[in-house]
């Protein structure tokens, strides 16, 4: 009896396999794959926000430097001649007062976000001061040479980006300080009310702490609690919540 039952079951299964509609099977597989794609919850980013790279004399040059999510680091260069076309002077307090100088500028979108952040901080009793924003390629050359003369090439490379590899040239980064540290750019800033407020709230305005502590091997630079980079609110939120660097963000985000 048992043998007859097992044999019948095998025949029934084989018949089912033989009678299966190949097209329906293929449609089912496609539907399953589509559902899996729809349920994917990781961060997604349009292709236009990724670096477009061209090789020039062995260097990886960013061909779309106007991209607000440009990944600028020790691997990717901005064109030496690149200057953002929408630089404006944000209406915030600067450590150097009202001087209308190069480093007081940011790209328009970042400047507007900075104004909002500084204003809301002030309403909460936190007084921030902008120190250094946009920096031209030529200015970066001078800064690096001065730092090398002061501390040597090895130490200088840990703190100052080579010309073309500075985020400041994007016009999307601002160094921020406070009166509590005498407007200096120092690691002590992380322990101030202002530094803590920025670390916890900057992402709400589209800024990220670009060079966080413990991620030096990824960013290539020492910890800088004063350096904030504008990437937009969505990317900043995802980077903040995952405790990523910008490098890690691009390693995890899905291009769509």
SS (H, E, C) 124-183: CCCCCEEEECCCCHHHHHHHHHHHHHHHCHHHHHHHCCCCCCCHHHHCCEEEEECHHHCC
Which residues are catalytically annotated?
Answer: 224
């Amino acid at each position: 009896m048992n043998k007859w039952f097992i044999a019948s079951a095998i025949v029934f299964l084989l018949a089912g396999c033989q009678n299966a509609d190949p097209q329906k099977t293929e449609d089912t597989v496609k539907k399953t794959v589509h559902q899996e794609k729809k349920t994917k919850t990781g961060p997604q980013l349009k292709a236009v926000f990724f670096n477009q790279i061209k090789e020039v004399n062995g260097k990886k040059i960013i061909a779309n430097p106007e991209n607000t999510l440009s990944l600028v680091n020790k691997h990717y260069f901005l064109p030496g001649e690149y200057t953002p076309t929408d630089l404006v002077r944000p209406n915030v307090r600067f450590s150097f007062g009202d001087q209308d100088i190069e480093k007081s500028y940011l790209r328009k979108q970042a400047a507007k976000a900075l104004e909002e952040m500084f204003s809301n901080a002030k309403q909460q009793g936190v007084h921030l001061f902008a120190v250094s924003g946009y920096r031209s390629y030529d200015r970066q050359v001078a800064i690096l040479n001065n730092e090398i003369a002061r501390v040597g090439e090895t130490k200088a490379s840990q703190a100052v980006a080579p010309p073309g590899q500075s985020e400041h040239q994007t016009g999307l980064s601002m160094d921020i300080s406070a009166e509590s540290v005498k407007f200096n750019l120092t690691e002590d800033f992380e322990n101030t009310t202002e530094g803590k407020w920025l670390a916890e709230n900057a992402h709400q305005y589209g800024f990220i702490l670009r060079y966080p502590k413990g991620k030096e091997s990824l960013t290539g630079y020492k910890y800088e609690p004063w350096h904030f980079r504008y990437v937009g609110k969505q990317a900043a939120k995802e980077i903040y919540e995952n405790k990523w660097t910008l490098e890690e963000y691009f390693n995890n985000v899905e291009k769509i």
